[in-house]
Amino acid sequence: MERTLQVINELEREGIIKRYAIGGAMGALFYSEPLTTFDLDLFCELEINDSGLVVLTTVYDALSQRGYQPAGEAVLIEGIPVQFLPVDDDLLGEALDEAQWKAYGTTMVRVFRVEHLIAIALKTGRNKDRDRVGRLLDETEHDQEYLEQVILRHNLLVRWMQWQ
């Protein structure tokens, strides 16, 4: 996993991807007990074409030149499936802006704040996401006031009330 993260940092340094942060279950790994997951969700600012579509060609070409190949919706980097996901709404934009530096071994990476991981899981609303909300609330030191502000800012109060 550490080499995977080093490759991602190289892509950012080379300008192939812009700012990024880790989200999803791998993001939660930085705050709580490991969850079952098979991929790394990498949220980043990606190239957008004139039609408003996300362009992954530059990313995939750069990874292919390094010997990494697509696998379904991801690219296998050092054996880890990595999904390059666009920051396409205000919640994800805020999560990227507020991402925090965390160490994975000797490699520093940006990870969504735990409060944003909770809010994104609430918004997504799948069963596994609802479970993640509970785990993150129970297992992490989170800022409850900040979480409530995020929930209100992004119109997630109904989801929050339903979850409770």
Contacts of 74 (CB under 8 A, 6+ apart): 39, 81, 82, 83
45/105 Cα distance (integer angstroms): 25
- What does the pLDDT look like over 57-113, one tens digit per residue? 999 999 999 999 999 999 999 999 999 999 999 999 999 999 999 999 999 999 999
pLDDT band at 19 (very low <50, low <70, confident <90, very high): very high
Q: Closest by alpha carbon to 111, among 149, 75, 140?
A: 140
* The pLDDT value given to residue 35: 66
Predicted confidence (pLDDT) at residue 34 exceeds the cutoff of 70: no
Report how far residue 107's alpha carbon sits from residue 55's, in angstroms, rounded to the nearest whole number. 27
Q: Does the model's pTM come out above 0.85?
A: yes
Instruction: Report the share of the chain in percent with pLDDT over 90.
Output: 79
For the chain, which residues make up each domain, given as ranges? 2-163
Distance CA 115, CA 117 (A): 5
Among 139, 143, 127, which residue's Cα sits nearest to residue 28?
Answer: 139
CATH number of this structure's domain 2-163, picked from the four choices 2.60.40, 3.40.1710, 2.60.120, 3.30.460:
3.30.460
